[in-house]
């Protein structure tokens, strides 16, 4: 066991794993996190806590992780390289591990121009690839990147993100491979709507045997309305929603669109479960965490397995 | 060249409030090429200032000069005979030039008339774009001649990120994705094996993060 | 253009050839861009963009030129002297008094 985390145990035991996501609040209200964690509890093997997503300041991921842990949910800390240099990142890895966080997701981070502080300094001291490498070096070699010995090794199950829908397509599998080589144990993909593109991506990944070397968790996001679908498709980089999906939701009367969105999400999870090489699903029900039980249960993935 | 943009005239007029006898100094180097600080711009700026001040009832006397460069001591010295006859110097050279004048003429307030920008190239007349961050550790041979530190908004060494769409960076539809450019170029040079390699962490101490830099050529000093 | 105002002009007319007919191909287009720049300078410093205007004419359009010139002159007469000239007139008016003090 690299980290001994629940997520690692579930995946190593061969179960189809489930993770979800909690966005911390735009303030210091701890109960907000506890409440969301309550919706996630018992529905997942680990829960991501986002790190100032879209550069909008929120309670820190580490604090969110500890609150989530309090409620009895296994946390997964997300770390972007946008805001912190390698000194701060190493320090936060040590801190998170010391506080019992055992899952890590290494990300670039959205550019700060998207948030409320576009005038902030842009750090990017190391990139997400190098952060993966850094976490692995500390865990497996027991040293700082500088070579100095660690007193107490941070043990993380190391994850990365990929976007099969971003351009250029031709290097996306090469990047997954590079992240695996850098030390990633698992990957969570950007949310999938275009199954054809995703299947092609998986075929290309399997040709390189990547599905056996890294655990691939497919990302899904339930759509609340046709409006949300159209908005995301148009304005969010790297999201590709086929017209027929938008139409299925748009054809419903407004008050039934959310239910249709959930239905489609459950279908998608069903399809992903049957795909070779997919080790689990990452359900990003943003600001809709209360629906997690319905979605994950509806996909036949409850109860979650208990692995020692 | 080093580029810059003119400071708003209101800002310059505010800086000039205490003075009525100044030098406006341009430079024949980079700022002439990017049309922000050369002889012509000295003339236009000086006219503008005189008209603005006269209209406000507070005349200003301006000596218009343009130096060969403001970053070499020999050319800066050409100002010494007259600089102390004036209350201040408004320089529209780059920040290096402005500071050099300030160092050489310690008793004269030095005012910046432009906001110095970036190291860049002329795409066409009237359009300049950024190419180099002066990071001190050039990797252009590995990236098809395109700089990931400058052209990628996130300075990634293993790009592109997930926000690259149709060759456009997530920050602005008018900004090309630096890594798309690198990949295209590596492909055309048949150097794609350079792409899928883990690169060492960047040594930012070679850039300004390590502190103000200095170069000494032993064979020249 | 700015120098003309410094030299005491209340208004400046810039005349260029009809667009597409420039002997120097695009000189008149560039001129228009520069006149635009001067508009914004004049606005910002309180002289007013209306005091400069560009007209496009061919060399043979004498009557049009006369019409434009008259129109522009009327505009300037209505605007009055440029703020620079007003300021200068004030100064000259003051000066004799100061000399006696």
Where in chain B are all domains bearing CATH 3.40.50.2300? 2-118
Mean pLDDT in residue range B56-62: 94
Mean of the per-residue pLDDT values of chain B: 96
pLDDT digits (tens, 9 = 90+) for A44-71: 999 999 999 999 999 999 999 999 999 9
Domain extent at residue A135: 6-298
Is pLDDT of C96 > 90?
Answer: no
- Give C-chain residues touching B36 at CB under 8 angstroms: none
**Cα dihedral angle (C50, C54, C59, C62), rounded to 10 degrees?**
-20
Please check whether residue A305 lies inside any domain of the structure.
no
The alpha carbon of residue A236 is apart from the nearest alpha carbon of chain B, in Å, by 9
State the pLDDT confidence band at B147, using cuts at 50, 70 and 90.
very high
The alpha carbon of residue B125 is apart from the nearest alpha carbon of chain C, in Å, by 12
Mean pLDDT in residue range C6-34: 89
| Fold annotation for B2-118 | Rossmann fold (3.40.50)
Pick the residue from chain B with its C-alpha nearest to C83: B55
Percent over 70 (pLDDT), chain B: 100
CA–CA gap between residue A148 and residue B202 (Å, rounded)? 19
pLDDT of residue A240: 87
Print the SS3 string covering chain A: CCCCCHHHHHHHCCCCEEEEEECCCCCCCHHHHHHHHHHHCCCCCEEEECCCHHHCCCCCHHHHHHHHHHCCCCEEEEEECCCCCHHHHHHHHHHHHHCCCCEEEEECCCCHHHCCCCCCCCCCCCCHHHHHHHHHHHHHHCECCCCCECCCCCCCEEEEEECCCCCCHHHHHHHHHHHHHHCCCEEEEEECCCHHHHHHHHHHHHHCCHHHHCEEEEEECCCCCHHHHHHHHHHCCCCCCCHHHHHHHHCCCHHHHHHHHHHHHHHHHHHHHCCCCEEEEEECCCCCHHHHHHHHHHCCCCCCCCCC
Are C44 and B10 inside 8 Å of each other by CB? yes
Mean pLDDT in residue range A224-239: 87
Is pLDDT of A217 > 70?
Answer: yes
Mean of the per-residue pLDDT values of chain A: 95
Percent over 90 (pLDDT), chain B: 95
The alpha carbon of residue C65 is apart from the nearest alpha carbon of chain B, in Å, by 28
Which residue in B44, B47, B54 is closest to C87 by CB distance? B54
pLDDT digits (tens, 9 = 90+) for A122-134: 999 999 999 999 9
Is pLDDT of A238 > 80?
Answer: no
pLDDT of residue A120: 95
- Give A-chain residues touching B161 at CB under 8 angstroms: 108, 128, 166
pLDDT of residue B51: 96
Mean pLDDT in residue range C43-49: 94
The alpha carbon of residue B183 is apart from the nearest alpha carbon of chain C, in Å, by 38
Please check whether residue A304 lies inside any domain of the structure.
no
Please check whether residue A1 lies inside any domain of the structure.
no
Which residue in C2, C3, C45 is closest to B55 by CB distance? C45
pLDDT digits (tens, 9 = 90+) for A156-208: 999 999 999 988 999 999 999 999 999 999 999 999 999 999 999 999 999 99
How many separate domains does chain A show? 1
Beta bridge partners of B116: B4
* Residue A272 belongs to domain with CATH number: 3.20.20.220
Are A111 and B162 inside 8 Å of each other by CB? no
Mean pLDDT in residue range B14-18: 97
Kindly tell me whether chain A and chain B come into contact, counting contact as 3+ Cβ pairs under 8 Å: yes
pLDDT digits (tens, 9 = 90+) for B75-105: 999 999 999 999 999 999 999 999 999 999 9
How many separate domains does chain C show? 1
Are C6 and B47 inside 8 Å of each other by CB? yes
B14 part of contact set with chain C, CB < 8 Å: no
The alpha carbon of residue C19 is apart from the nearest alpha carbon of chain B, in Å, by 20
Strands B2-6, B114-124: pairing is antiparallel
pLDDT of residue B16: 98
Domain extent at residue C83: 2-100
Interface test with B, best of A124, A172, A176, A232 (most B CBs within 10 A): A124
B50 part of contact set with chain C, CB < 8 Å: yes
Mean pLDDT in residue range B143-153: 96
Is pLDDT of C94 > 80?
Answer: no
State the pLDDT confidence band at B70, using cuts at 50, 70 and 90.
very high
Contact B168/B126 with Cβ under 8 angstroms?
Answer: no
Size of interface B-C (CB pairs under 8 A): 34
Which residue in B9, B44, B55 is closest to C83 by CB distance? B55
């Amino acid at each position: 066991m690299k980290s001994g985390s629940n997520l690692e145990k579930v995946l190593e035991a061969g179960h189809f794993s489930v993770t979800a996501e909690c966005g911390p609040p735009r303030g210091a209200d701890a109960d907000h996190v506890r409440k969301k964690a309550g919706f996630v509890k018992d529905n997942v093997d680990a829960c991501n806590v986002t790190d100032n997503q879209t550069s909008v300041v929120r309670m820190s991921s580490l604090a969110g992780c500890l609150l989530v842990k309090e409620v009895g949910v296994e946390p997964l800390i997300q770390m972007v390289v946008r805001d912190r240099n390698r000194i701060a990142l190493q320090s936060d890895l040590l801190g998170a591990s010391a506080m019992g966080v055992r899952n890590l997701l290494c990300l670039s981070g959205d550019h700060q121009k998207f948030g409320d502080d576009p005038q902030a300094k842009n750090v990017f001291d190391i990139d997400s690839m190098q952060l993966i490498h850094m976490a692995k070096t500390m865990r497996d070699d027991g040293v700082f990147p500088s070579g100095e010995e660690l007193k107490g090794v941070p043990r993380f199950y190391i994850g990365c993100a990929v976007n099969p829908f971003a351009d250029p397509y031709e290097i996306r599998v090469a990047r997954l491979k590079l992240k695996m080589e850098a030390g990633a144990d698992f990957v969570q993909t950007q949310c999938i709507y275009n199954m054809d593109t995703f299947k092609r991506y998986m075929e290309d990944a399997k040709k390189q045997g990547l599905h056996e070397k890294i655990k691939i968790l497919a990302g899904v996001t339930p759509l609340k309305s046709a409006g949300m679908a159209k908005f995301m498709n148009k304005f969010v980089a790297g999201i590709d929603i086929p017209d027929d999906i938008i139409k299925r939701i748009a054809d419903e009367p407004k008050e039934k669109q959310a239910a249709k969105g959930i239905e489609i999400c459950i279908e998608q999870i069903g399809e992903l479960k049957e795909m070779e090489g997919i080790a689990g699903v990452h359900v990003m029900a943003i600001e809709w965490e209360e629906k997690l039980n319905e979605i994950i249960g509806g996909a036949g993935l409850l109860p979650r397995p208990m692995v020692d | 060249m080093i580029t810059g943009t003119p400071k708003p005239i209101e800002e310059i007029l505010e800086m000039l409030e205490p003075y009525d006898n100044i030098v406006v100094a341009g430079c024949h180097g980079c700022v002439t090429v990017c049309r922000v600080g050369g002889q012509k711009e000295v003339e236009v700026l000086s006219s503008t200032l005189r008209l603005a001040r006269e209209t406000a009832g507070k005349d200003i006397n301006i000596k218009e000069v343009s130096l060969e460069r403001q970053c070499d001591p020999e050319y800066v010295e050409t100002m010494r005979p007259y600089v102390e006859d004036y209350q201040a110097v408004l320089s529209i050279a780059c920040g290096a030039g402005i500071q050099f004048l300030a160092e050489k003429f310690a008793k004269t307030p030095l005012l910046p008339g432009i906001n110095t920008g970036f190291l860049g190239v002329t795409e066409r007349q009237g359009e300049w774009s950024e190419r180099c961050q002066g990071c001190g550790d050039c990797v252009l041979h590995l990236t098809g001649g395109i700089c990931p530190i400058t052209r990628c908004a996130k300075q990634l060494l293993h790009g592109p990120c997930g926000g690259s769409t149709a060759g456009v960076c997530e920050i602005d539809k008018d900004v090309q994705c630096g890594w798309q450019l690198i990949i295209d170029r590596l492909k055309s040079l048949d150097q794609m094996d350079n792409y899928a390699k883990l690169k060492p962490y960047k040594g930012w101490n070679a850039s300004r993060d390590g502190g103000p830099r200095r170069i000494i050529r032993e064979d020249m000093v | 253009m700015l120098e003309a105002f410094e030299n005491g002009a209340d208004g400046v007319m810039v005349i260029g050839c009809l667009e597409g007919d420039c002997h120097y191909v695009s000189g008149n287009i560039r001129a228009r861009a520069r006149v635009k720049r001067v508009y914004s300078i004049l606005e910002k410093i309180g002289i007013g963009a209306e005091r400069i205007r560009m007209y496009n004419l061919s060399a043979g359009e004498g009557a049009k030129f006369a019409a434009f010139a008259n129109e522009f002159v009327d505009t300037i007469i209505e605007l009055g002297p440029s703020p620079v000239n007003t300021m200068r007139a004030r100064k000259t008016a003051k000066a004799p008094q100061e000399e006696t003090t």
